[in-house]
Amino acid sequence: MRIDIWSDIICPFCTIGKAELDAALAAFPHADEVTIVPRSFELQPSDGTPRSVEPVVEHLMRKYGISEAQVAAQNDQLAARASGLGLEFNWRGSLAAPTLDAHRLVKLAATVGLAREVETALMTAYFTEGRDISDHAVLREVAEHAGLDAARVAEVLASGEFADAVRADQAEAAALGVRGVPFFVIDGRLGVSGAQPSNTFGRALAQAWATSHPVVEFASETAGDSCGVDGCA
């Protein structure tokens, strides 16, 4: 069973939603048959012009027209929920930054089976360590530490490689009507929007599995006429 997850590196709900899904998978009896596929979604798509990096508090105040106190109240709630999932969310030190290059490295990681590892490492760098994930030096360090080849990382960052794949993900999300992340598509047929609690994900996993693996029920316990490997009776 495949789960596609559209998310952005700097989206707090994405980090929390993935942790909730992981908790659900830990209790799912078929978890070893589930494949997670990270999909790209830039909350602020790059238009080709340089964008400045700024403290997340200032960014949110300007973007939503809210006060510093409102930003603090909202993010303290998020940090508390993240903590309950074993995540450390140091939002006061976070830097709002473009994420196209980070997404491109996740695409690179997918070619060697390390997409989730690199994506998680980038989210940790952003949420926990307060690092600028648009900085190529930071991206190289994080990606290499997560297992990517240093020369290949440098090659991708010096080019526009995988940008088309990032944009294709975003086009597919738009075609699906996705306007916010995280967004989960389970087995190509069941969509789950937002950072839902683990029990919601658990029900969705069970529903998707039951749909794709129907159980044959017998009308009675008495065998009727049939043919088997030893002949017909």
122 near 128, Cβ under 8 Å? no
pLDDT of 229 higher than 50:
no
Taking residues 154-171, report their average pLDDT: 97
Residue-wise over 194-210: b if at least 16 C-beta within 10 A, else e?
ebbebeebbebbeebbe
Instruction: Give which of 21, 42, 64, 14 is closest to 194, Cα–Cα.
Output: 14
Q: Is 232 exposed, middle or buried (0-12, 13-18, 19+ CB in 10 A)?
A: exposed
Query: Among residues 159, 39, 139, which one has the least CA distance to residue 97?
Result: 139
**Which of these ranges, 15-29, 73-87, 137-151, 211-225, has the smallest mean pLDDT?**
211-225
Number of Cβ within 10 Å of residue 101's Cβ equals 21
Whether residue 233 has pLDDT greater than 60: no
Contact 4, 39 (CB under 8 A): yes
User: Whole-model pTM?
Assistant: 0.89
Residue 214 is predicted with a pLDDT of 80
Q: Lowest-pLDDT range, 74-88, 155-169, 208-222?
A: 208-222
| Span 86-94, average pLDDT | 94
pLDDT category at 227 given cuts 50, 70, 90 is: low
Whether pLDDT at 225 is above 70: no
**What is 166-181 written as a DSSP string?**
HHHHHHHHHHHT--SS
Is the pLDDT assigned to residue 6 strictly greater than 90? yes
The helix, strand and coil proportions of the chain, stated in percent and rounded to the nearest 5, come to 50, 10, 35
Selecting from 3.40.30.10, 3.40.50.300, 3.40.50.450, 2.60.40.420, what CATH number does the domain 2-212 have?
3.40.30.10
**What are the boundaries of each domain within the chain?**
2-212
Answer yes or no: is pLDDT of 216 > 70.
no
What digits encode the pLDDT tens for the residues 93-144?
999 999 999 999 999 999 999 999 999 999 999 999 999 999 999 999 999 9
Q: pLDDT over 70 for what percent of the chain?
A: 90
In the chain, the N- to C-terminal Cα span, in Å, equals 38
Helix (H) or strand (E) holding 40: strand 35-40
Res 28 pLDDT > 70: yes
Q: Which of 123, 132, 64 is nearest to 98 (CA)?
A: 132
